[in-house]
Amino acid sequence: MSVAVEQLLQQNSARLWRARETGSSAAAVAPTGLPTGYAALDRCLPGAGWPRQGLVEILSDRRGIGELGLLLPALAALCRDEGGGWIAWVSPPYRPYAPALAAWGIDVGRMLVVNGAGATEWAMDQALRSESCSAVLGWSNPRDPHALRRLQLAAEASRSLAVLYRPLQAGLTPSPAVLRLALLGGGTAGLQVRIVKSRGGRPATVNLGY
Count the alpha carbons within 13 Å of 142 in the hemisphere toward its beta carbon. Answer: 25
Q: What is the dihedral of CA 61, 64, 65, 68, to 10 degrees?
A: 100
Query: Cα 14 vs. chain centroid, distance in angstroms?
Result: 36
pLDDT in 10s for each residue of the chain, 210 residues: 444 444 533 444 433 333 333 333 333 446 789 999 999 999 999 999 999 999 999 999 988 888 999 999 999 999 998 778 999 999 999 999 999 999 999 999 999 999 977 899 999 999 999 999 999 999 999 988 999 999 999 999 998 999 999 999 999 999 999 999 999 875 566 789 999 999 988 889 999 875
Q: Find out whether 66 and 185 touch, Cβ atoms under 8 Å.
A: no
SS3 assignment, position 135? strand
According to DSSP, the β-strands at 179-185 and 161-166 are unpaired
SS3 assignment, position 167? coil
Q: At what angle do helices 120-129 and 145-157 cross, to 10 degrees?
A: 20
Closest listed residue to residue 107, CA positions, set 75, 131, 130, 70: 75
Q: Find out whether 180 and 155 touch, Cβ atoms under 8 Å.
A: no
For residue 146, give every residue at least 6 positions away whose Cβ sits within 8 Å of its Cβ, in sequence order, or none. Answer: none
Q: Find out whether 140 and 92 touch, Cβ atoms under 8 Å.
A: no
Task: State whether the Cα torsion 186-188-194-198 is positive or negative.
Answer: positive
107 C-beta neighbours (distance < 10 Å), count: 15
Q: What integer pLDDT is reported at residue 101 of this predicted model?
A: 95
Q: What integer pLDDT is reported at residue 30 of this predicted model?
A: 60
According to DSSP, the β-strands at 55-59 and 161-166 are parallel
